[in-house]
Amino acid sequence: MSALDQLWVWNDPAIKDRLSWYLAVAENRKPAKFRIARTITTALSLADASEDALWHELERLTPVFLERVLRIRDKGEPLGPTASRPHLLDLCRELAQRMLRHCNFCRWNCRVDRSAPAKLGTCKLAAESRVSTYFHHTGEELVYRGRLGSGTIFFTSCNMRCAFCQNGDISTDKDNGMRVDPRTLATMAWLLRMEGCHNINWVGGEVTIHLHTIVEAISLLGDGLASPSRDDLRTALRVKNDWSLYDSLPASAQYGGAFNAPMLWNSNFFMSDEAMRILRVLIDVWLPDFKFGPGRCAITLARTPRYWETVTGNLELIHRWGEDLTIRHLVMPNHVECCTKPVLEWIAEHMPEVPTNIMDQYHPDTFCDPSGEKFDPRYTDIARRPTMAEIRESYRYAKALGLKYETITHEKGLADIFI
Ligand code: SF4
């Protein structure tokens, strides 16, 4: 057993049941999905195939892949050798590159060619990805931060426009941070895991809009980025933002002698079906942020149409797939009735067993901070912290609905004074 396994939080069956695959990969008892994807070959010539043919091949291989995941998970079957190229991971990489040329990574479905941009989509990005910073995140949920942190990589820009964004410096400034190619990105992930991080936490801004770079980086990790060069490390270290020095712990980063780490998708979940289908092969645990109710709040506060149907659709999908996940919901001032309650009701109706973190740390930020230069008076109703009564009512409602929220919400031992 390692540091993560020993934490008290796993004594809650609701947590352990829902995150058992993630924990097994984090502890290197099982290989991450991206490692399994490399054991499944395709006879398709990827560069020559039409995009339709590539999707068709993904449809064909996904059940084969899932069956192998189940045999490894439930029957203890060994990983098996890497397949000859191209394999399923190569197929995912090729599909992400094709999608970039008519971008449909997310529900905006902008259809712009980000590889040779004459026009930009809602996220304002071309092909380049930038990382603002990355580090051992010790503020995430205990199941993710463990003792040595969640290996969190923050990308710039976003496909939503939340006026209150709690990471506005990153999401509203697409040129923040450092340009990364897949090799630098893979080096960042490698470094975090070698230093003991329990997972690789892909986040932003929004992460979906960087799908092509991330898939390519995961692919390089699968190829055994065994020891990045001095130059790789020097480049990657430029935006690493850890306060402590960490020992190198190679044993905590390997399964069967090769790099291993659970991939965590920390996202607003405003993704396209196509992005979901690729990610199903790569992601070990999902961390969706479920913000707004079914009314107009996603439009008025985030200028995002079709929010409810998209996010609930994607949540239903990963739930039906039997994926590991926890949900986050941030309680906003004056939005308990229109957002918090409908969100909690939906979770209670569709996936009541999924651990849900009801977060109380909202603070007015970005366009909602009355003391900031960017303040927009249209957002006066959310220009304050939630009251204790609003937080207490949110918890009361979750409890009445029978949600599994208490362990994951109160584990820092602060919030339970509100009950
Ligand atoms: S990632 Fe989304 S917002 Fe950005 S160009 Fe693609 S479809 Fe549009």
Look at residue 168 in the predicted model and tell me its pLDDT.
86
Residue 1 has pLDDT above 60, yes or no: no
Check pLDDT > 70 for residue 263.
yes
Distance from the CA of 176 to the center of ligand 1, in angstroms? 18
Over 70: is that where the pLDDT of 414 sits?
A: no
pLDDT of 117 > 90? The answer is no
At residue 317, does pLDDT exceed 80?
A: yes
Inter-residue long-range contacts of 372-377, CB under 8 Å, 24+ positions, other chains counted = 376/163
Specify the amino acid at residue 154.
F
Helices 341-350 and 307-320: crossing angle in degrees, nearest 10, is 30
| Total Cβ atoms within 10 A of residue 374 | 12
Residues touching ligand 1 (Cβ under 6 Å) are 103-106, 108-110, 112, 121-123, 125, 159, 209
Distance 306 CA to ligand 1 centre (A): 14
Phi, psi angles (nearest 5°) of residue 292: -115, 150
Residue 23 phi/psi, 5-degree rounding, is -65, -40
Nearest atom of ligand 1 to the alpha carbon of 112: 5
Instruction: Summarize the confidence of residues 302-331 as an average pLDDT.
Output: 98
Asked if 204 contacts 162 with a C-beta cutoff of 8 angstroms, the reply is no
Q: What proportion of the chain, given as a percentage, has pLDDT over 70?
A: 97
Q: Is the pLDDT of residue 411 over 70?
A: yes
As given in the structure block, the two tokens for residue 70 are 């189940």
Mean pLDDT throughout 322-331?
Answer: 98
Separation of alpha carbons 308 and 300, rounded Å: 13
* Distance from residue 173's CA to the centre of ligand 1 (Å): 16
Q: How many CB atoms within 10 Å of residue 40?
A: 20
The model's pLDDT over 165-222, given as tens digits with 9 standing for 90+, comes to 988 888 888 888 999 999 999 999 999 999 999 999 999 999 999 999 999 999 999 8
Mean pLDDT of the residues in the chain: 94
**pTM over the 0.85 mark:** yes
Q: Which amino acid is at 398?
A: A
159 alpha carbon to ligand 1 midpoint, in Å?
7
Query: For 277-294, what is each residue's pLDDT tens digit?
Result: 999 999 999 999 999 999
pLDDT of residue 3: 77
Distance 110 CA to ligand 1 centre (A): 5
Which run of H or E residues covers position 137?
strand 129-137
Mean pLDDT of 344-371: 96
Sign of CA dihedral 21, 345, 106, 135: negative
DSSP per residue over 86-124, as a string?
SBHHHHHHHHHHHHHTT--SBTT-----TTS-SS--TT-
> Whose alpha carbon is nearest atom 5 of ligand 1?
121
Confidence at residue 419, expressed as pLDDT on a 0 to 100 scale = 36
Give whole-number Cα distances, 40 to 49, 87, 256, 279, in Å.
Answer: 18, 5, 17, 16
Residue 417 in this model has a pLDDT that exceeds 90: no
Chain centroid to CA 189: how far? 14
* pLDDT digits 0-9 by tens, 377-388: 999 999 999 999
What tens digit of pLDDT does each residue of 31-59 get? 999 999 999 999 999 999 999 999 999 99
Q: Yes or no: say if 194 and 253 are a contact pair by the CB < 8 Å rule.
A: yes
Question: Could you tell me what percent of the chain has a pLDDT over 90?
Answer: 89
Euclidean distance between CA atoms 180 and 331, whole angstroms: 34
CA distance 40 to 399: 44
Is the pLDDT at 237 greater than 60? The verdict is: yes
H or E element that contains 57: helix 51-75
